[in-house]
Structure 1
Amino acid sequence: MPKENKRRGRREEQKKRKRGHDDPDAVSKRHKHHGDAAEPAPEGGVSFQDEAIDDVTRPGAMPFYGMLDDDEQEYFKRADEMLELNQFDGPEERRLFLESVYKEAEGKELKLANSQSCSRLMERLILLSTPKQLKNLFQKFNDDFVHLVQHRFASHCCEALFIQAAPIVTQELSKSEPLQTPPSSDPNEIYVSMENSFLFALDQFEPYLGFLMTDRFASHVLRVLLIVLSGEPLEKESKGALHSKKKEKISVAGADRTQELVLGKRKVPQSFLDALEKVIKDISEGLDSSYLRILATHPTGNPTLQLMLKLELSKFGKSRAKDEHSVIHKLLPDDPILEGTESASFINGLVYDPVGSRLLETIIENAPGKLFKTIYGEFFKERMGSLARNEIAGYVAGKILERLGKDDLEEATRQIVEQIPGLVERNRTAILKTLIERCAVRGVDTAPIKAQLEQAYGAPDGFEITRLLKLGEAPSEDGKSNSKHDHSHPDKVHGSLLAQAMMAIPGPLGNLIFDSFVNLGEPLTLRVARDTIASRTLQAALTSPHATIIFRRKVIQQFYGKVCELALDPAGSHVIDAIWEGSHGLAFIRERIAEELCENEASLRESLVGRAVWRNWRMDLYKRRRPDWVKQSRYAAGNEGFQSFPESNGDATHVPNQRAGKQPTAIELARRKHAEAKAKKDATHAKKEKKGNNMSAEGDNGSSKGKGKASVPAH
């Protein structure tokens, strides 16, 4: 018999209602207590503040800007969809549409920016706006920037506005490009430069910089503003220190690079640098050392502190470290820094902290040489091996290796080499990649690293690249893996990067990878080619300048009969693309691969990645004008004179033509030398044969004379 549908906890709710009826203030007090917790606030509610720190000036309560009605929301949602698809007949039609949207949004800009559903439209409008429209938005936001940057949705609009307006400052400064700002019909309109628009916005932030540094949303906008003022580049991929990893990408279909949230290195006015210096100075003077050290381990404040420290030392000189009011001096005030001082305790506390270690990396990377040598000698010189073992401190050790001279690097290498078996066992190979790269730069012997890696990844058959690339279980007969997630993604990435670093330098380290690939066998090689991460190592091996022509020939020949299958694979298609460059000096192999692609044209044209391979291999030219393709292919392959397939008798003895403007390669010189020696040998042999023929002819003539004399009858 079915049970009655009862809701759990109804007795407790009855008790709460009774308590609320008896004491009306109790409910309101509880609600107030829950409101103080760090929970997401509703639209237009209080701002997000991660672990808010006292003793900083806070802005007032966030105002409520109102809400859009149903008809307005429906209109702006349709406009957002049209802008996202970007299916206009031309730029003029899109310009007229933008003007109509801006006209409809007149007076509603703040509502749009704070709306969960329509703030995306505001971001797309900013991406497509003219300089004049961006200036108008600055004016609309002008008195509310402090509140907007704290809002969950409006903060993204402010960030996009700052990034899109930054290049306009450079254009106005140089006057080299038109600003698309026609003269206004309003005689009372006052012209405001984009430079002043930024400075007006910055004036609103200055009283609350200490608070904004730790705000969940405002801190991202503040960091972008500091980048804009400094003139430093802001790349689309840069996340963590500047952008949140959860940031949603707002784009327009078919938009060019100028309509993406990226910034290149650019010239900025002196007023921006002065404003940046003032901001950093105000923060360092307004906040004491204890507050800055709290920010060093604060999840939200740490990235902003990193950026301030980096800009202070890179834009205003390393000598700022001696200034008592500088950020780095506030963090490390002791001179010299010795064990037992506050600075020593601060550094030791950052080494193993997941958040604070990132600030320590920034200090090591940007500190003046004298300060770095003091920190390294006092805290890290004898600890490089133990630092490399730790999951967090290993990244600090990597930054240290990048600044060491040859002698110190040799000592650090000795300590880290002893830890290689443990590092391999724990899959902490990022430090080994950095170590190999720095040894190549400083000229340090890598033979000890090679010996330890060969032993750590060794097997009865020698070094196993599959262990380094974390390919896991044995593949099936067709070369495909039976499991999709053999190892965690970061471990595989670090293994692939280590292998690529080993191949980047000539010598025994790279030969470990090359020899292992040759000995893999066809099934495992195909499996590597299909793996999304491991295939990058195979691509690097085929295109490496240190790979021998014998290695490339042996590896590429394993793909015969599987070229189409790999060309249709998202990862394998990049391997086929790499074969084009990897067949340098192997024109007959390049033609063999092209022939196999041509046989599977229909399958390739039906696939997106297949069409990319077809285009990269210039297969249309191969089908229509094959002699031209062969000529270009052999010219690009670098062996124009070596045109025959391996099965031919090799009668081609002419010398390869040297490419115009380029020195002949080693294989070309070898072929030229071989052709000259063969020609000389043939000439000598021909001369001997000719001389022998002449002598035999003379002998024949003598004998014939003798016979003639003998045949004369005696009288």
Structure 2
Amino acid sequence: MPKEQIRKRGKRKTKQEDEFVPKAAAPAVPEPVAANDDAAASGGIHPSRLAFMKTGVRPPPPPKPEGGEGDAQEGVQEDGAADWTRGPRHESEFPFGPLDPDVKAYFRNVEEQVKDWEGAGVGEENAGEEREDRQLFLTSVLNELRGHELQVATDPETAVVLERLLPSLNDWGRRVVGDSVGEGWETLVRHRFGSHVAQTWLTLAAGTLDREVGRAGDECKCAELTCQARGIYPPQHAEQRAKAEGTDEGTLPTMAELVTTLTDALLPVLPVILISQFASPVVRLLLLVLTPNRALPSLDGADSGANLIRSKRSGKFRKGQGVQGKSILGDEQQPKGKGKEREGRDVPAAVAALRGKIRAEVMARVSGVEWQSMGVDKVGSAAVQLLLEVEVADSDAEKEGSLLDIITEGLVAHLHADPDADLPEAKPFLSALQVSSTGTRLFEALLRLSPEPVFQALWFTYFDGKIGKLAQHPYANFAVGVGVSRLNAGAAKAAVGEVQAVSGGRGLIKTARTSVLLALVERATALGDADVATAVVGLIKSALDLGDHADALVPALMALKTYPIYEAIRTGAEVPDDEEVPADAVDKDAEAQATATARRSAWENRRNTRPRGQLEPNMQGCLLLQALVALPTGNIPVLDSLFAQPTDTLLAYAKSPIASHLLDKVLTSPAVPAKYRRKLYLGFVGRYAELADDRLGSRVADTVWDTADGYMREKIARSLIPDATTLANSQFGRFLSRRLDLHLLQRRPDEWRAAQIGVKHHFAHQKEAEAKPVPAPAPVAAEVKAEPSAEDEAAARKAEKRKWRKEREEKDEIDELFASSEKSKKKKSKRV
């Protein structure tokens, strides 16, 4: 490294040295003269800038005006120009004031303990004491929180701690936290961190509302917020009501009253906060909470419904913080798994009516142009989609002037005026919406939620005749896929023809845009039409450019390559150039935008671009193969291609995190004939030990065992007997080894069959009879028995002889040796 680039550390000076160093007086700033002004004017340089360039000294800032007016307008100069110095952060980041440092340090320590207990449950041993300790800990934390709720919720470091604590609170604690917000709901939901706390509180408030309203079938049908007909309230609620009777003392509002207060606080600013980055998710979640029987996103963000509320960035941050949304007391507030929200969530009638109030308010205050601009906004588009869903649920979508009518630019009114009239011409807004990166999501919602007449008009106006081009568009292909899912058999076959007309569909494989192909396969499965299924399989063969190489369907589609490219990569030959797609079928601006977005996403996720010359399993290709396997008619070519591959290829698929799902689908789908499953069972015979020893292959082996019949289970188990020890010591294979119980199969096969297959041995009924206690016979009067005949006596003697011979034959040499030794011992004892 050159000497001039070496970074040297200066000598540190002591405080005493700094104090006695005389400070040089600042040089006087020379006053600019008229000549300088003329030179600056001629050169286009500001006089102050010219003076700085000549002297090297910055001019002092202009004096601030004295008095209250100057203090109120801090950061603004006399002439109105903005001061570049950053103002105080109190108003923007800490709207309720900064949190005390000691309280912040306390909550940091609390977070470490909550992380250890969150979702861990309470041990069986000393469960009562451990739960009591956790309850005391929670009580002390809540006492410290009292009076600082808003500061904690808006502090960057403690807001997550409050989110962790909320699931551990009972209904009373949640009401206390909600009541502490008071009139600050608008400020809280607009805040970057406070909005996330509000979302967690609202999600938990839905469960409290459900308990307060009771269950369906109650005798009381009133709509009062204070109605307690069979409602479930915490014990403190009744105690407080009893103390407050006859006094002026206030009571803690119920959850229904708190949600009403929240809604009333947000109503005046709804049009503004619908497009607010932080407040809009809270409003969307509020609409879900006000909808009865509507599943809510889980607090841990594991289900797909969370994308409707939280952004990807918010979900990534929450995942990085490790927020599980579980109680530290071991109480499971939410069901486990994705989409496991309990059915039948009730909402009080007066609270549910607030949803219509919200919709009426925004419809009255937002114009049609603003709705359309909101539909292409990154934040507002999700709110418009949810409001459309609410409108369809309320059966108001087909009315003139509805939100659906505004977004479709009068299409609903046109159909309402004359249902038999010709379709209107395509409008510019919707035409731009379907090819927009943000607007296409709104178009998907239109196709998914619109009534059947409106859907037919949208499809034949904006998609019919353009499917081949739109299917290859980087954004419009998703809208086409949603529309295909609602087509009938005739329209589906027409869509297949349009896609195949554009370069045979090969552009869909080369650009990895398979959403339309996947939607066509799933629609053919739902319709159950053999002609549609055959047409779809033919389209996929054409898109892969298979020709006469039908056996290459599965490996080529798994790698998502056309057959010429797949074969060139497999054999090491030169990869052929991509054939050009017609110029009229390519949107160059959209392609450039999609490429830039993909590049940025790869950079943000630290993910390298996949090399072009690899044949690794592809996610889109595997999903398409799984859908093809589930076809009731038309899946035979796919299955034949799969089992035409060598066992090593199938074993590689089983060990792949992507391709293993295809084998699971073959084993579990009812559309797959039994003979193909049998081929898969027998194909792995002799390789099951290798399969079970893999992290992902062991899961496929478990699926094989679960779906196999009794005969095939025994065949698989006997093939694994030589590898029993290796399998038992394997990190992953030991789980399958426990299920198979190979040692029992070796020693007692009959018991193994009874335990594993459910087949009982033909002598099992005798053992059961011996095990059962025989009841003592009741005393009865003596009966006269008939004397046995000569034939009966002869038959009895023959039976005894047969029994003696059988026992003698069953004895082996060892038994005879022990028997002879016992006889000799008896003889010696007699002699003595």
Q: What TM-score range do you get, normalising by the shorter chain?
A: 0.7 to 0.9
Which shifted more, 134-143 or 76-85? 76-85
Distance 2:358 2:59 in 1: 50
8 Å Cα contact 2:727/2:734 also seen in 1: no
Change (3 A) 1:373 1:549: closer
Residue 617 of structure 1 and its aligned partner are, at CA, apart by 6.1
Residue deviations 1:43-102 (CA, integer Å, cap 9, x gap): 75538xxxxxxxxxxxxxx72422231x32232122212122116653332222111110
Corresponding position of 1:703:
none
> Counterpart amino acid of 1:400?
G
Distance 2:291 2:56 in 1: 58
Distance 2:88 2:689 in 1: 54
Corresponding position of 2:235:
181
Distance 1:518 1:108 in 2: 66
User: Normalized against structure 1, the TM-score is what?
Assistant: 0.75
Corresponding position of 1:467:
556
> Counterpart amino acid of 1:111?
Q
Distance 2:615 2:158 in 1: 36
Q: How many pairs are equivalent?
A: 603
Matches of residues 21-40 of structure 1 in structure 2 within 5 Å? 21=60, 23=62, 32=82
Corresponding position of 1:448:
535
Change (3 A) 1:172 1:624: farther
Aligned partner of 2:514 among 418, 423, 429: 429
8 Å Cα contact 2:98/2:155 also seen in 1: no
Residue 440 of structure 1 and its aligned partner are, at CA, apart by 2.6
Change (3 A) 1:135 1:615: farther
Matches of residues 336-485 of structure 1 in structure 2 within 5 Å? 336=414, 344-419=427-502, 420-444=505-529, 445=531, 446-457=533-544, 458=546, 460=549, 462-470=551-559
Matches of residues 291-690 of structure 1 in structure 2 within 5 Å? 291-314=370-393, 316-317=394-395, 319-324=396-401, 326-334=402-410, 335-336=413-414, 344-419=427-502, 420-444=505-529, 445=531, 446-457=533-544, 458=546, 460=549, 462-470=551-559, 492-508=618-634, 510-584=635-709, 586-592=712-718, 595=721, 598-604=724-730, 607=731, 613=736, 627-635=750-758
Which shifted more, 575-584 or 304-313? 575-584
Aligned partner of 2:295 among 212, 228, 233: 233
Matches of residues 122-201 of structure 1 in structure 2 within 5 Å? 122-174=162-214, 178-182=232-236, 183-184=238-239, 187=244, 188-201=249-262
Distance 1:611 1:116 in 2: 47
> Counterpart amino acid of 1:194?
M
Confirm or deny that 1:78 pairs with 2:165.
Answer: no
Residue deviations 1:510-536 (CA, integer Å, cap 9, x gap): 222222221221222122111111111
Residue 600 of structure 1 and its aligned partner are, at CA, apart by 3.2
8 Å Cα contact 2:551/2:640 also seen in 1: no
Residue 192 of structure 1 and its aligned partner are, at CA, apart by 2.1
Distance 1:297 1:616 in 2: 55
Aligned partner of 2:152 among 103, 106, 112: 112
Distance 1:620 1:107 in 2: 66
Change (3 A) 1:144 1:76: same
8 Å Cα contact 2:284/2:386 also seen in 1: yes
Gaps of 5+ in 1: 48-61, 476-482, 644-715
Aligned partner of 2:351 among 269, 272, 276: 272
Distance 2:184 2:728 in 1: 59
> Counterpart amino acid of 1:144?
G
8 Å Cα contact 2:213/2:231 also seen in 1: no
Corresponding position of 1:67:
99
Residue deviations 1:619-654 (CA, integer Å, cap 9, x gap): 89979987555335334xxxx69x9xxxxxxxxxxx
> Counterpart amino acid of 1:277?
G
Q: Which has the larger Rg?
A: 2
8 Å Cα contact 1:406/1:443 also seen in 2: no
Residue deviations 1:259-287 (CA, integer Å, cap 9, x gap): 57985442222223311011111111100
8 Å Cα contact 2:214/2:232 also seen in 1: no
Residue 310 of structure 1 and its aligned partner are, at CA, apart by 0.9
Which shifted more, 177-186 or 352-361? 177-186
> Counterpart amino acid of 1:336?
H
Distance 2:405 2:743 in 1: 64
Change (3 A) 1:283 1:602: same
Residue 543 of structure 1 and its aligned partner are, at CA, apart by 2.1
8 Å Cα contact 1:297/1:355 also seen in 2: yes
Corresponding position of 1:3:
4
Percent same amino acid at aligned positions? 23
Which shifted more, 79-88 or 337-346? 337-346
Distance 2:157 2:735 in 1: 37
Corresponding position of 1:244:
311
8 Å Cα contact 2:686/2:719 also seen in 1: no
Residue 243 of structure 1 and its aligned partner are, at CA, apart by 1.8
Q: CA RMSD in A?
A: 3.9
Change (3 A) 1:5 1:22: farther
8 Å Cα contact 1:543/1:581 also seen in 2: no
Distance 1:486 1:631 in 2: 53
Residue deviations 1:248-267 (CA, integer Å, cap 9, x gap): 14114886652579854422
Confirm or deny that 1:216 pairs with 2:277.
Answer: yes
Distance 1:500 1:398 in 2: 17
Change (3 A) 1:31 1:100: farther
> Counterpart amino acid of 1:305?
V
Distance 1:438 1:272 in 2: 39
Change (3 A) 1:227 1:490: farther
Gaps of 5+ in 2: 9-48, 65-73, 216-229, 416-420, 561-565, 572-607, 762-832
